[in-house]
Structure 1
Amino acid sequence: MIPDSTDKPEPPARRHALSSLWRLRSYLRPYRYRMLAMLLLAGASTAASLLVPRMIQSVIDGPIAGGDLTGLWLFGLAVGVLGIAEGVTIWLRRYIQARVALSLEADMRTDLYAHMQRLHAGFHDRWQTGQLLARATSDLGSMRRFLAWGLIFGLMSIVTYVAVVVQLLFMHLWLGLVVAASAVPLFIVARNFARNFIKASRNVQDQQGEVAAIAEQAAQGIRVIKAFGRSPHMQAKFDAEAGTLRDLSIGKLNISARSWSLFTVIPNATLAVVLVGGAAAVASETLTLGALVAFVTLQLMLIWPIEALGWIIANGNEAMTAADRVKDVFDTEPAITDRPSAVPVDRAKSKGLVRFEKVTFTYEETGTPVLKDVDLEVRPGETLAIAGATGSGKTTLVSLIPRLYDVSSGRITIDGVDIRDITLASLRTVVSTAFEDPTLFSMSVRENLTLGRSDATDADIEEALSVAQADFVHELPFGLDTRVGEQGLSLSGGQRQRLALARAVLVRPAVLVLDDPLSALDVHTEELVERALASVLTGTTALLVVHRPSTVALADRVALLADGGIAAIGTHSELLESTPAYAAVLSAESEEVNA
């Protein structure tokens, strides 16, 4: 479960975060040969750069010291060739790195999105959208930068450091030992930096998710915020979270600044010692001037890897904490999956006989059963209305049929087959759902309508629009090709409901679940839709959640849901006569609608 702003987790231990990053190494396998090519190219460019100081030594101690400048141009040409070779290898390496980096990120993002699609509705009920967005964007970006850039730079920095120190030891043992000894304080600084930075990095990344969540909620609920005049309140809430993010980020940067300053001071202090000692060695003729210049030039080549060490450690720690956050999602196993024995069903052969057999359902968060031992049968072609007081579990009951949630015990069958023995893909072609709060995507009207049936013809679409009384789409600027905007908020509530109803009808399911999809319609439009639906429902098994009494007219029978079970079932007239609780529910619903 993702924490909210009042329940934030402790940052992961370094070993745990490193393990999460290591478990994602499989993404590198398809690119292992390109990664090897990058390493070889990096090695070639490093080798070329290491040759230059020794060539400078040869020039100073040879032609320049001897006053013979006739061959000097050959050395210049050689250095130029090495420079060109180094430039070409760097360009090739960076080109390959860029392609590998972006491909890695795309692979991880594709798999993360696919995994989130497999997770059941309960997972998405608990997780903040902003937290998921942060994991799919900034966290994956951090991992990409390290796996394709930081990892290579880190390896090459180590290789460069070792190669340079070995050469320095051969050139002058004591000065080389001074440079080698500087690795000890650098290691201590790097260890402390990594230990502190990983905690700060996780806190910042979690807080980025909080800020993204508030921004996303504000964007979706902008009409409510404006309607209630709560812009100052929401602004204050956002400012508080953004301020916390700022403070955490400053704290993280302070850790980086202290460490990076030491990464700069230590090699520069070492260089000062080398210059003094080297000058003394030249004066005592134990070191040539060319050797001192080459020694210092080689030592200067260590400054960038040492300074880059801070960036590499920071990047690596961010990647580890990002990997840990992404693994939070990957490690969540889909709770609703196909059984090994699940088989597809033929929609054309499905009769639509639905049975609930001792069905019990409990939400994980509450632990209290919402439904208890529900027994219910909906005959093929029958329209059954589900009535009940607010919070009685009507929506939960019908959400179990397409397996948006799975029963806690008991079973639901369609044509005698347990729905868990039917593949999810085929089950959701047999069962179609229209929700009270419709979701439309930022795409064209046509794409929204054909979401559940991509092969629908124009005639099929027109028929569904007619049933849902959604002919208004032809008056939109581009007709069916008009984009409805995010969440379909460019349309009215009634228009969104009618499009959602048309989308469900277009599938032509054997079982149609309607969770009060007419609640936002005016009385006249509702009557027209009900008349059209009556003809469509002939031959289709339908479960209709009732929130307004007028909708009961569509039903052949009505089931009253109370205390988690079916309290009564019969026709509308029968229940009015025999069940006072049913009349009370209808009366309460009528008062809510007219209020």
Structure 2
Amino acid sequence: MYSVKQISLWLLNCWKGYHKMSIINTATGLVSVVLSLAFVWASKRVIDTATGDYKGSLLTAGLWLGSLIVAEIILFIIQRWVRNSLGVRTQNSIQQYFFRHLLHSEWHSKKTYHSGDILNRLERDVTDVVDILTQTIPATIVVFFQLGTAFWFLCLMDSSLAWVTVGILPVFIIMSRLYMLKMRSINKNVRESDSAIQSILQESVQNRMVLKTLEQCDNTIVKLDKRQGILRSQIMDRTRFSIFANTTLSIGFSGGYFIAFMWGAYRLSEGEITFGVMTAFMQLVARIQGPVLNITQLIPTFISVLTACERLMELEEQPLEADGEPQKLDDKGGVKIENLTFQYNPEENSKKVLENFSYSFPPGSCTAILGETGSGKTTLIRLMLALLHPTSGRITVYNDHQEFEVNALTRCNFVYVPQGNSLFSGTIRENMLMGRPDATEDDIRTALEYACADFVYKLKDGLDTRCSEKGGGLSEGQAQRIAIARALLRRGSILLLDEATSALDLETEKNLLQRLTQGEHGKTLIFVTHRLAVMEYCNQTLKIENRKE
């Protein structure tokens, strides 16, 4: 758990980047306070003029009062416009910052989060942080300014009434401290349960077919109900504590108001103050105790934000990949592996997936990587792509006159087709352009033909055919061929195919392999496969043995 000081410094750093709206909201809020106090003064002047306690024109006093009412309405419209227009921009900007950080962070971090939890952080937690930066902090400044100016104004009229009115403040300060300590712990538990529920919902929707075939729909609903029950219990605990704390404070403020009101009534009956002063006092009491009550309502917001900040700070701690200019080979490339050892958790002395492993994939070669499940084939591919990092040893991409040790900047040399369906929702054209955004119609057609995916042009809408999440609407084999075609559009010279023909029938697989190995695309081919048919088209074979420890 981060300290309040750490969170405050982090928020300050965020505020520096998005201070425009905060400053505007603060400024308009301060103007609103000034107008409200001017309204109190104008009301007192109208009443004192009407009762004869002040010699002046009632019409002039009324015009001043009407002008202030109009000014407050105009200011309200401005505040609403600013809040809605700049608020969305700030929300989008901060959300994009964390989304960008997430996409550019290390793929395999020691600390991982469920995708549902990450979405909860990017949505709810970002919203909470935006609210405190653009709304809550300005509101707090305005509340204290209103409290101070109203107290000062009341002192000018009658100092004894002012001090009676604020007599409850010490009690408020003590209780708010205790309230924050308790509520911070409760709120963190609530947010974690909320993330767990979103994780269940998201995972279940994504794997609905699996749940149906396993006949686990009802059990999943029971699992969700249990989680919701935990959240419900936590929310009720928070509600009970909040009601108790707010009721106690309200009783205190009501008591203070009653005492101050009776004291004012007594002084009015004795002729020590005018009716106008008493009327102004009634309005100012609301402007003193009202802000204090507003602060009590802001405390839960601050507590919620402490939790939101902690959760976003955790995301921000994930290390970023190397940044800079891509390290691209200017000719057909190969891959060289030297004395490579890899463990997923070396600090825990976990099993070595690969140990002192060396191999070379020369430029222009075609290699089949074979091995049992769990032997490290896919791990090796991820190491080449710098998604994982060697425990020791090194991997380089090279040609006759260049050599780079693999990192995020050398990923541009690779074309990767992962296992399974990797299409995104949208049109086939949009999916293809993810391989190369500037690809022409001819480029797309050539890639589809190489991948035996020219069936696309026989579809009713052709390239503009829409598919849902994970290529919904297409068969597994069709989606797999489109994914291969998309990869072929990339300009990388090393093509990695991880079980990329697993969903194809034998005839289609044969045609695809012939086109890939005999075509003029000029790429180095590396197949991870269990299918012996692939080996016939390769000029070298690498078999990885499953290590036993």
Same fold (TM over 0.5): yes
Q: TM-score, normalised by structure 2?
A: 0.93
Cα distance in 2 between the residues matched to 1:82 and 1:383: 82
- Counterpart among 125, 128, 144 of residue 158 in structure 1: 144
Cα distance in 2 between the residues matched to 1:331 and 1:60: 61
Q: Evaluate the alpha carbon distance shift between residue 382 and residue 67 of structure 1 in structure 2; reply closer, same or farther with a 3 A threshold.
A: closer
Cα distance in 1 between the residues matched to 2:540 and 2:508: 23
Indicate if the aligned counterparts of 1:494 and 1:520 stay in contact, CA closer than 8 A: yes
Compare 388-397 and 38-47 and name the one that shifted more: 38-47
Cα distance in 1 between the residues matched to 2:44 and 2:20: 37
Cα distance in 1 between the residues matched to 2:265 and 2:327: 87
Deviations 1:286-345 (A, max 9, x none): 2222212211111022343233223311112212211110110111112x425xxx7644
* Partner residue in 2 for 1:498: 481
Deviations 1:515-547 (A, max 9, x none): 110111122222222222222377421111121
- 1:76 paired with 2:59, answer no
In structure 1, what residue type is equivalent to 2:104? R
Cα distance in 2 between the residues matched to 1:65 and 1:89: 33
Partner SS, residue 543 of structure 1: strand
Cα distance in 1 between the residues matched to 2:221 and 2:456: 36
* Partner residue in 1 for 2:181: 195
- Counterpart among 335, 338, 349 of residue 354 in structure 1: 335
Cα distance in 2 between the residues matched to 1:398 and 1:216: 28
Partner SS, residue 47 of structure 2: helix
Deviation at 1:265, TM superposition (A): 2.6
- 1:330 paired with 2:312, answer no
Q: Evaluate the alpha carbon distance shift between residue 92 and residue 67 of structure 1 in structure 2; reply closer, same or farther with a 3 A threshold.
A: closer
Match runs of 1:237-316 below 5 Å:
237-316=223-302
- 1:540 paired with 2:523, answer yes
Cα distance in 2 between the residues matched to 1:428 and 1:121: 13
In structure 1, what residue type is equivalent to 2:344? Y
* Partner residue in 1 for 2:413: 430
Deviations 1:341-378 (A, max 9, x none): x764445x323221101111111386322111111011
* Partner residue in 2 for 1:375: 358
Deviation at 1:81, TM superposition (A): 0.8
Deviations 1:225-284 (A, max 9, x none): 111211001111111112222222222222332233334332222111112111111222
Partner SS, residue 298 of structure 2: helix
Match runs of 1:552-591 below 5 Å:
552-563=535-546
Deviation at 1:223, TM superposition (A): 0.7
* Partner residue in 1 for 2:82: 96
Q: Evaluate the alpha carbon distance shift between residue 118 and residue 419 of structure 1 in structure 2; reply closer, same or farther with a 3 A threshold.
A: farther
In structure 2, what residue type is equivalent to 1:361? F
Q: Evaluate the alpha carbon distance shift between residue 331 and residue 21 of structure 1 in structure 2; reply closer, same or farther with a 3 A threshold.
A: farther
- 1:439 paired with 2:422, answer yes
Partner SS, residue 504 of structure 2: coil
Compare 115-124 and 533-542 and name the one that shifted more: 533-542
- 1:133 paired with 2:116, answer no
Indicate if the aligned counterparts of 1:433 and 1:514 stay in contact, CA closer than 8 A: yes
Q: Evaluate the alpha carbon distance shift between residue 236 and residue 537 of structure 1 in structure 2; reply closer, same or farther with a 3 A threshold.
A: farther
Compare 194-203 and 54-63 and name the one that shifted more: 54-63
Cα distance in 2 between the residues matched to 1:328 and 1:471: 46
- Counterpart among 364, 370, 374 of residue 387 in structure 1: 370
Deviation at 1:17, TM superposition (A): 4.7
Deviation at 1:210, TM superposition (A): 1.0
- Counterpart among 456, 459, 474 of residue 476 in structure 1: 459
In structure 2, what residue type is equivalent to 1:56? S
- 1:414 paired with 2:397, answer yes
Indicate if the aligned counterparts of 1:31 and 1:100 stay in contact, CA closer than 8 A: no
Q: Evaluate the alpha carbon distance shift between residue 322 and residue 66 of structure 1 in structure 2; reply closer, same or farther with a 3 A threshold.
A: closer
Cα distance in 1 between the residues matched to 2:152 and 2:364: 85
* Partner residue in 2 for 1:60: 47
Q: Evaluate the alpha carbon distance shift between residue 508 and residue 58 of structure 1 in structure 2; reply closer, same or farther with a 3 A threshold.
A: closer
Please give the root-mean-square deviation of Cα atoms over the aligned residues, in Å.
2.4
- 1:464 paired with 2:450, answer no
Q: How many residues align?
A: 544
Cα distance in 1 between the residues matched to 2:294 and 2:467: 48
Q: Evaluate the alpha carbon distance shift between residue 133 and residue 18 of structure 1 in structure 2; reply closer, same or farther with a 3 A threshold.
A: farther
Deviation at 1:87, TM superposition (A): 2.3
* Partner residue in 1 for 2:170: 184
Indicate if the aligned counterparts of 1:384 and 1:555 stay in contact, CA closer than 8 A: yes
Cα distance in 1 between the residues matched to 2:372 and 2:81: 64
Q: Evaluate the alpha carbon distance shift between residue 358 and residue 537 of structure 1 in structure 2; reply closer, same or farther with a 3 A threshold.
A: farther
Q: Evaluate the alpha carbon distance shift between residue 175 and residue 345 of structure 1 in structure 2; reply closer, same or farther with a 3 A threshold.
A: closer
Indicate if the aligned counterparts of 1:398 and 1:543 stay in contact, CA closer than 8 A: no
Indicate if the aligned counterparts of 1:354 and 1:379 stay in contact, CA closer than 8 A: yes
- Counterpart among 124, 129, 136 of residue 143 in structure 1: 129
Deviations 1:409-439 (A, max 9, x none): 11111116554467x35x2332111112231
In structure 1, what residue type is equivalent to 2:75? T
Q: Evaluate the alpha carbon distance shift between residue 188 and residue 174 of structure 1 in structure 2; reply closer, same or farther with a 3 A threshold.
A: same
Partner SS, residue 122 of structure 1: coil
Deviation at 1:160, TM superposition (A): 0.9
Deviation at 1:33, TM superposition (A): 5.1
* Partner residue in 2 for 1:454: 437
Deviation at 1:31, TM superposition (A): 4.7
Compare 136-145 and 447-456 and name the one that shifted more: 447-456
Indicate if the aligned counterparts of 1:452 and 1:507 stay in contact, CA closer than 8 A: yes
In structure 2, what residue type is equivalent to 1:517? A
Partner SS, residue 63 of structure 1: helix
Partner SS, residue 375 of structure 2: coil
Indicate if the aligned counterparts of 1:357 and 1:412 stay in contact, CA closer than 8 A: yes
Q: Evaluate the alpha carbon distance shift between residue 478 and residue 486 of structure 1 in structure 2; reply closer, same or farther with a 3 A threshold.
A: same
- Counterpart among 34, 42, 56 of residue 47 in structure 1: 34
Partner SS, residue 544 of structure 1: strand
Unaligned runs of 5+ in 1: 1-11, 566-595
Q: Evaluate the alpha carbon distance shift between residue 509 and residue 124 of structure 1 in structure 2; reply closer, same or farther with a 3 A threshold.
A: farther
Cα distance in 2 between the residues matched to 1:72 and 1:23: 54
Q: Evaluate the alpha carbon distance shift between residue 66 and residue 318 of structure 1 in structure 2; reply closer, same or farther with a 3 A threshold.
A: closer
Q: Evaluate the alpha carbon distance shift between residue 525 and residue 500 of structure 1 in structure 2; reply closer, same or farther with a 3 A threshold.
A: same
Deviation at 1:61, TM superposition (A): 3.3
Compare 164-173 and 278-287 and name the one that shifted more: 164-173
Compare 465-474 and 375-384 and name the one that shifted more: 465-474
Indicate if the aligned counterparts of 2:196 and 2:227 stay in contact, CA closer than 8 A: yes
Partner SS, residue 177 of structure 1: helix
Q: What percent of counterpart residues are identical? A: 26
* Partner residue in 2 for 1:509: 492
Deviations 1:77-125 (A, max 9, x none): 1111111122222332333233333222222111111111112221399
In structure 1, what residue type is equivalent to 2:420? D
Cα distance in 1 between the residues matched to 2:9 and 2:23: 18
* Partner residue in 2 for 1:520: 503
